[in-house]
Chains A and B, each alone.
Chain A
């Protein structure tokens, strides 16, 4: 089973800032990585697939990069609606698909 590790667990940032979240796989997963956003009381929402392709309707302020074992999600100009928990998910080697433990974006 591939382990996904996200860092940091929590990130405190101010509105308007740019932030980068990290996700590391325990072995190479090529570009078979997705990112999700989850707000309190809501289901996760797909942001990025293929490590860098934005899902339908996702604004350009969200960008993903990386391949192999190291991946990042960058969010520019943070607004109030962006403060949420972000998860990465690998789909290279399954079953099972596996998720990272999540990074929570907090308002500083």
Chain B
């Protein structure tokens, strides 16, 4: 059974960097069939895809984030990570990691989510 789990600071100050890590169990991030995605959900709102990383380190980002986003993979730890720079209160959201079928591009499964609050 594949499981994903987000971890990282839940409170970030404005202008600083939001950092989250997703640990994958039951599958390997080096499986060539999948991308590894980050998706966020503002409180009480809909879903917004942020970007994905492939096991090779290749990435694809939502253009809305491109200038301040970095997604990376650590194959030795079976993890992938999100770094979002220069955050504001508008970045307060639940951040999910999810497995993204490479030849399909739907998300399954998802992590349980991490609420990150941007506040001083």
Binding site for B on A (CB under 8 A): 32, 34, 36, 42-46, 49-50, 55, 87, 89, 91, 94-102
Contacts and interface: CB of A to CB of B under 8 A. Distances in A.
A94 B62 CA distance: 9
15 contacts: A34-B107, A43-B110, A44-B47, A45-B108, A89-B47, A89-B106, A94-B60, A95-B51, A95-B61, A95-B62, A95-B63, A96-B62, A100-B46, A102-B46, A102-B47
A96 B120 CA distance: 31
Contacts of B45: 101
B76 interface: no
Contacts of A100: 46
A15 B75 CA distance: 46
B49 A34 contact: no
